[in-house]
Structure 1
Amino acid sequence: MPLRSIVIASLALAGAVLAAAPALADPVVQAGKYVALGDSYSSGTGAGSYGSSGSCKRSANSYAQLWANANAPSAFVFVACSGAVTTDVTANQVGSITSDTSLVTISVGGNDAGFADVMTDCNLGSDSTCVARNQEAQTYARDQLPARLDAVYTQIRNRAPNARVVVLGYPHIYQLGGSCSVGLSETKRAAINQSSDVLAQVISGRAGAFGFTFVDGRSAFAGHEICASGARWLNSITWPIDESYHPNAAGQRGGYYPALEAVA
């Protein structure tokens, strides 16, 4: 066979071998360090399986743990704690954020505004008492909560300038005009939902001022509130009492987790 023919045949064979070889898979990109801050809505209070977290009630069913399980960050620091207010976050939680942190999540502000007391007063008091207590919480949220949120958000940004920060808001507790035949009056339910609206407005506004991503809990839980005809993702009054009016495991999995996954 002439030399030219041998060379052509060899090149053709090499091309065939390369074409038949499987393409190398894209390398798996591991998520960076993830720090989960916040209050009971972030810790997963109400969703069970708290392990050794004590009164902080960090749930294996929380959106933070679910995201870490699915995305395998290089490090996962879960410091959200039931009952936390903004000053607890700055004093006890933000120290977990380091310059290599790539994702921070947080929900906070509801306890500052006294939302637990709101729910207690609305369960034990009259319609007028409930409405007045909600108006008091809303005034606090508008007038005093912004500065408290700014203090938290400033520390987060200073500690991790390049991190994506996702701020998760609170859902409506009730679906108005829903299927509940007993329980709080519609007047009380509307007042409580209005407080959720005010918190969303304040928290989203301050988060946006820092360039953070806001996840609206009202949208994430729409159709699954207490009194909704669909599966309910929020506890009503339950035992232990501190788990009342918190997302259950289905709410963390079906509400918060996919909303976080969509932006993180």
Structure 2
Amino acid sequence: MRLSLPCLSAVGALAFAAGSIVFAGSASAAGVHYAALGDSYSSGTGAGSYDPASGGCNRSANAYPKLWAAAHSTESFKFVACSGATTATIKSGQLGALGGSTTLVSLTAGGNDAGFGTVMQTCVLDSAASCQSAVANAKGYMDKTLPGRLDSLYTAIRSRAPQARVVVLGYPRLYKIVSGCVGLSQAKRTALNGAADALDTSVSKAAGRAGFTFSDVRDEFAGHELCSGQGWLNAVTIPIGSSYHPTALGHAKGYLPAFTGSTKRSLALKRDS
């Protein structure tokens, strides 16, 4: 997901706290044809080491799809996740990576539809009341509009990859709620965590309706949010687009083990089916 350039003005005014198990060794995934779809939480925005050929999509060598593929002997790997992607742009621009031979799909989707970047900009620059109002509006979208958009995307994925096991990953809470953390107020941090929970609820329910596997990353990131002192997420950064995204460590120790565990279950189900 992306934050717009006006957030740059907050960098000088605010100081933010900076900031399960890595899958070890190479493992066989013979016969696996893996496609990694989604938004910036899958492309690896914020994790560095971007593929120049990916342009603004910011596909990182440190992103969990690349790490998983590097640890497995897959038959094929297509990495098309893109920063800023919505359910609509994933549907229109990324599903070409899928086909009848695709056996494994990963994705994160929904945050940009719900206006996460705008919400973060409001919470960084404006009052606690404005932040809470923006979060409430986003939650309303997640409850009323996002489910249909996710259903449409998931139906299209199933149509293009009828044999694939699909793992939908969620989003982490951004903050550990503790006193004495500089930057956003306690009220703002609590509101933003509530938004993450609402988003994960909407995504999880849609994945269930589609028969996909939902992988909740909040447990992996617990204790490693901003304000934890051991954060796996970027605070406000330059470039601004990396703000509030997982670091390389967040992908290696947060998203990768969440995906690895869910993938093992999905592939086991495939073998048994």
Q: What TM-score results when the alignment is normalised by the length of structure 2?
A: 0.84
Residue 44 of structure 1 is matched in structure 2 by: 44
Q: Tell me how far apart the structure 1 counterparts of residues 135 and 217 of structure 2 sit (CA, whole Å).
A: 19
Structure 1 gaps of 5+ residues are: 1-27
Q: CA deviation at 1:51?
A: 1.8
Q: Is the 8 A contact 1:178 1:227 kept in 2?
A: no
Q: CA deviation at 1:32?
A: 1.2
Q: Tell me how far apart the structure 2 counterparts of residues 29 and 225 of structure 1 sit (CA, whole Å).
A: 32
Q: CA deviation at 1:29?
A: 5.2
More moved, 122-131 vs 153-162: 153-162
Residue 234 of structure 2 is matched in structure 1 by: 235
Residue 33 of structure 1 is matched in structure 2 by: 33
- The 1:29–1:86 alpha-carbon spacing in structure 2 relative to 1, beyond 3 Å, is closer
Partner-residue secondary structure (3-state), 1:214: strand
Partner-residue secondary structure (3-state), 1:183: coil
Q: Tell me how far apart the structure 2 counterparts of residues 207 and 253 of structure 1 sit (CA, whole Å).
A: 24
Give every structure 1 segment of 4 or more consecutive aligned residues whose post-TM-superposition deviation is greater than 2 Å.
none
Q: Tell me how far apart the structure 1 counterparts of residues 29 and 216 of structure 2 sit (CA, whole Å).
A: 28
Q: CA deviation at 1:72?
A: 2.1
Partner-residue secondary structure (3-state), 2:103: strand
Q: Is the 8 A contact 1:179 1:228 kept in 2?
A: no
What letter matches 1:249 in structure 2? A
Q: Tell me how far apart the structure 1 counterparts of residues 211 and 103 of structure 2 sit (CA, whole Å).
A: 15
Residue 13 of structure 2 is matched in structure 1 by: none
- The 1:29–1:226 alpha-carbon spacing in structure 2 relative to 1, beyond 3 Å, is closer
Superposed CA deviations along residues 204-263 of structure 1, whole A, max 9, x for unmatched, are 00101111111112112111000013x210000001000000000000000000111112
CA RMSD in angstroms comes to 1.0
Residue 153 of structure 1 is matched in structure 2 by: 154
Superposed CA deviations along residues 153-199 of structure 1, whole A, max 9, x for unmatched, are 0011111122110000000000112562x100000000000000100
Residue 121 of structure 1 is matched in structure 2 by: 122
Structure 2 gaps of 5+ residues are: 1-27, 264-273
Q: What TM-score results when the alignment is normalised by the length of structure 1?
A: 0.87
Q: Report 1:183-194 matches (<5 A).
A: 183-194=183-194
Residue 79 of structure 2 is matched in structure 1 by: 78
Q: Tell me how far apart the structure 1 counterparts of residues 179 and 149 of structure 2 sit (CA, whole Å).
A: 35
Match status 1:253 vs 2:249: no
Q: Tell me how far apart the structure 2 counterparts of residues 262 and 122 of structure 1 sit (CA, whole Å).
A: 34
Q: Is the 8 A contact 2:29 2:73 kept in 1?
A: no
Partner-residue secondary structure (3-state), 2:94: helix
What letter matches 1:161 in structure 2? P
What letter matches 1:91 in structure 2? S
More moved, 152-161 vs 165-174: 152-161
Partner-residue secondary structure (3-state), 1:34: strand
Count residues with an aligned counterpart: 235
Q: CA deviation at 1:58?
A: 0.2
What letter matches 2:221 in structure 1? F
